[in-house]
Structure 1
Amino acid sequence: MFRILSPAVAIALVLGGLSVQAATAQAPGPVPQVDLNASLENDPGKAVTGDKLFNDPPPAEGGWKGLARLLEALTPGVDTEIPLTASQITDRISQMLDQGRNEEALQVIQKRTAQLEQQGGIGTDVQLMFLHGRALAALGRHDQAIDLYRQMTTLYPELPEPWNNLAAEYVKQGKLDMARDALSMSLAANPNYGTAKANLGQVQLMLAQESFRNAARLGVGSARSKAEQTAEVLKK
């Protein structure tokens, strides 16, 4: 049985309205998370046995063949005689994304999603959903990635990684207030999540730079140099 998490009550984002100039988002953006295993495995209330997230039986023969052929074409050496487990499939998708094979990974994700729907599964494969967001972001389909990550934060607000990746997408669109709020939610889910802490610091610097620029335009003499100093910090 693939990983199922019960839907939680949606947590509303506090959406900021600050519009930032394109130059603000030119600094290296927040680091997106690429794996959910840490949160899912370290949550004793949602512990699972077996290989990482999944310990399900082989998929039905009819649904497996189409996915197997696709995986075999994209990843030579896949043994199509023995169906892969759910975790092996998601591991292969993650490897494709790590290698920059984003379009191929998206094809497998879509095929796997269709396969699970054909099997009549109940619930959501959270790892597959997260990988789908990664693939969309890597392909530059940022609005779709944001929609998917927002859906994840509604279904699984206890997971910090979707909040973090949502923030990274907001920064790409110059929505720094919204990125800050998403990172705050990530840290509310896990106060010890180092990636979100570092990303929040970076977003706060970007917000400070914008404030200094605005102050400089209003005639505050020292604000321009502070904006420049902040920009130098962001470049490091």
Structure 2
Amino acid sequence: MSPAVAIVLVLGGLSVQAAMAQAVVPGLAPHVDLNASLEDGPGKPAFEGKLFNDPPPPEGGWKGLAKLLEALTPSVDTSVPLTASEITSRISQMLDQGRNEEALEVIQKRTAQLEQQGGIGTDVQLMFLHGRALAALGRDAQAIDLYLKMTTLYPELPEPWNNLAAEYVKQGKLDMARDALSMSLAANPNYGTAKANLGQVQLMLAQESFRNAARLGVDSARSKAEQTAEVLKK
């Protein structure tokens, strides 16, 4: 049984418009704050490839002519080099704006470029954004697979566990969502988003239990199920 309640997503300081750019998740608030992985540490070079098709700013005079001549030369890339954190920040903004297909395309390009560069390790933030993009596009099974992979590789991060729970709620798998949120809080007991989401899931489970009890003839359970549903709507 899929839960009836739906709330907007709370994405770590993002706007309401950003939240609505995601697929509506019944009852849960995925979080995207993996700021630690955004920092460019020593030895991390800026990326010089062209990922984003931004229109060039209009310029006049000799500068505008120079830009025009450069644009006519296929081998010339006039884009300013981007750091790893700037790239993931841009992708996150695209997802916030609902440009999900475009964001996924950039993520795939960036992943391929990192593989070609033979870099050591994984861009955790890029991997997380990949999960967000898949979820936003309704490719829930793939999003779950990716989040599960992240929980295996990085069990200390609470955010993948939290977003995995959001995917389970979409499928009505409330017990699995509760377990995932428990893992999120084990990784970070002070993770407020997971605490709030766990409360939502517990209310959903209570509503489900009351409904089952009502079907078995417990008269008082029906009103309690209705009261729980009202709380979930707030």
Q: Which interval holds the TM-score relative to the shorter structure?
A: 0.7 to 0.9
Aligned pairs for 1:134-173 (under 5 A) are: 134-173=132-171
Determine which of 36, 46, 61 is the counterpart of 1:58: 46
**1:58 & 1:212 partners in 2: Cα distance?**
56
Unpaired segments ≥5 residues, structure 1: 1-20, 42-51
In structure 1, the partner of 2:100 is 102
In the TM superposition, residue 57 of structure 1 has moved relative to its aligned partner by 1.0
User: Is the contact between residue 58 and residue 85 of structure 1 (CA under 8 Å) also seen in structure 2?
Assistant: yes
In structure 2, the partner of 1:85 is 83
TM-score of the aligned structures, taking structure 1 as reference length: 0.78
TM-score of the aligned structures, taking structure 2 as reference length: 0.79
Q: CA RMSD in A?
A: 1.7
User: Is the contact between residue 158 and residue 184 of structure 2 (CA under 8 Å) also seen in structure 1?
Assistant: yes
Spell out, residue by residue over 1:117-139, the C-alpha distance to the aligned partner (whole angstroms, 9 max, x if none): 00011211100000000000011
User: Is the contact between residue 54 and residue 87 of structure 1 (CA under 8 Å) also seen in structure 2?
Assistant: yes
Structure with higher RCO (Cα < 8 A, 6+ apart): 1
In the TM superposition, residue 225 of structure 1 has moved relative to its aligned partner by 0.4
Determine which of 40, 50, 55 is the counterpart of 1:76: 55
Which amino acid is 1:160 matched to? P
Which amino acid is 2:136 matched to? A
Determine which of 5, 18, 32 is the counterpart of 2:30: 32
**1:122 & 1:206 partners in 2: Cα distance?**
43
Determine which of 167, 184, 187 is the counterpart of 2:185: 187
In the TM superposition, residue 34 of structure 1 has moved relative to its aligned partner by 2.0
Spell out, residue by residue over 1:81-133, the C-alpha distance to the aligned partner (whole angstroms, 9 max, x if none): 43211111001001101111111000000000000000011211100000000
**2:210 & 2:152 partners in 1: Cα distance?**
34
**1:34 & 1:80 partners in 2: Cα distance?**
31
**1:26 & 1:174 partners in 2: Cα distance?**
11
Spell out, residue by residue over 1:140-165, the C-alpha distance to the aligned partner (whole angstroms, 9 max, x if none): 10110000001000000000000000
Describe the SS at the equivalent of 1:114.
helix
Which amino acid is 1:53 matched to? E
Q: Which has the larger radius of gyration?
A: 2
**2:111 & 2:215 partners in 1: Cα distance?**
51
In structure 2, the partner of 1:8 is none
CA separation of 1:77/1:198 partners in 2, compared to 1, >3 Å: closer, same or farther?
farther
In structure 2, the partner of 1:18 is none
How many pairs does the alignment contain?
194
Spell out, residue by residue over 1:9-49, the C-alpha distance to the aligned partner (whole angstroms, 9 max, x if none): xxxxxxxxxxxx13x24443200012211xx37xxxxxxxx
**1:231 & 1:153 partners in 2: Cα distance?**
31
User: Is the contact between residue 25 and residue 171 of structure 1 (CA under 8 Å) also seen in structure 2?
Assistant: no
**1:111 & 1:54 partners in 2: Cα distance?**
20
Describe the SS at the equivalent of 1:222.
helix
